[in-house]
Structure 1
Amino acid sequence: MQLTIATAAALALVYARSAFAVMGIDTPSTLVQCQPSLLAWHEGAPPYYLSVIPGGQPGATPLKSFDAVNDLSRTWVVDIASGTVVTIMLKDSSGAIAYSDKVPIQGSQDNSCMIPAAAPAPAPASATAAAPAPPANGASVSPASPAPASQPPAAPAVSPTAGQAPPPPASRPTGSQAAVASSSAKPSSGANRASVVNGFAGLLAILGVALF
């Protein structure tokens, strides 16, 4: 009877321990760049999901995530740069989460596990035009002088009206033509005297008619 009671007590203790067991992850003693490190945890329900986050920042984006595992440990070749402080986060299939303490990554001479950074894209070529090269003989090149202002257009010649002949060009009279024109323009002195006599005779005739 005493054995039965002792056995029952032992079974009850084991059951109590398993019922109140909490999943946890061990904090690595050290992490060295490009060196393997053992990550171990206990309790929880597999599969397990392991990730590395910035130290002490539970809500931060993971620096590295691992594939799901069913074991209680795995080896990690530390491929995060030295000087980074990290925390190991563990999550099981039930959704329970456990965190390790913050651990700084130590430096080493080995960087073969690091992913090289992408080379920056080359800068685009400058769109500015290149300056003209100086002449070979060393002579200075002066800027081209501006073109002279254009002369105003000449006034258009007056064309004759359709159906009319253009006027003949003016000509200067010759000597004989000028003499004839001068003699014809001046009345002779004899003609003037005849005109006066005829006028006086006409006047006498008018007076005679008036008296008789």
Structure 2
Amino acid sequence: MKSFAPLAGIVALFAATASARPFTIDSPTDVVFCLPTLITWHGGKPPYLLRCGPILADGRPGGAPLVNLGEERGNSVIWVATLVPGTNAFLNLEDSTGSLAQSATFTVSAGSHRNTTCTGTTKSDGRD
């Protein structure tokens, strides 16, 4: 009878490697005022705290959050950007261990739509 112990060890090693994925947030590429934007991230340990921050005058991310998107337990959220078009911002994601992931900077665009009913809306979890 053949032993499957070596195969089980390889499978366990692969699973450990896959779960050790770096904690990262995907940078949004098209954030449009009053339209939904899918924000996704990988790795880390839930719950996560997601915030949108400003870009400082010297081009670095920093300062007080512009929007606090709250606590998330999954790996994605749909955000309806209520920031003024032309705002330069970034996303800051913190996991339950205190690890941080930051997106690249992005600029909120006005888009070609006429939707301005998003005032006061910040996010959707898809259960609305």
Q: Secondary structure at the match of 1:31?
A: coil
1:145-200 CA deviation, whole Å, 9 max, x = no partner?
xxxxxxxxxxxxxxxxxxxxxxxxxxxxxxxxxxxxxxxxxxxxxxxxxxxxxxxx
Task: For CA contacts below 8 A with separation 6 or more, give which structure has more relative contact order.
Answer: 2
RMSD between aligned alpha carbons? Answer: 1.9
Structure 1 unaligned regions, length at least 5 = 116-212
Q: How far 1:2 sits from its partner (Å)? A: 6.3
1:90-118 CA deviation, whole Å, 9 max, x = no partner?
00111000011111111133333246xxx
Identity rate, percent:
29
The answer for the alignment partner of 1:29 in structure 2 is 29
Change (3 A) 1:27 1:95: same
Q: Work out the number of aligned pairs and report it.
A: 114
CA distance in 2, matches of 1:29, 1:59: 20
Query: Which residue identity lines up with residue 59 of structure 1 in the other structure?
Result: G
Aligned: 1:93 with 2:88: no
Q: State the TM-score, normalized to the length of structure 2.
A: 0.78
CA distance in 2, matches of 1:105, 1:51: 15
CA distance in 1, matches of 2:62, 2:104: 15
Query: Where in structure 1 do 4 or more consecutive aligned residues deviate above 6 Å?
Result: none
Aligned: 1:57 with 2:66: no
Equivalent residue runs for 1:151-170 within 5 Å: none
Whose radius of gyration is greater, 1 or 2? Answer: 1
The answer for the alignment partner of 2:17 in structure 1 is 16
The answer for the alignment partner of 2:82 in structure 1 is 79
Q: State the TM-score, normalized to the length of structure 1.
A: 0.49
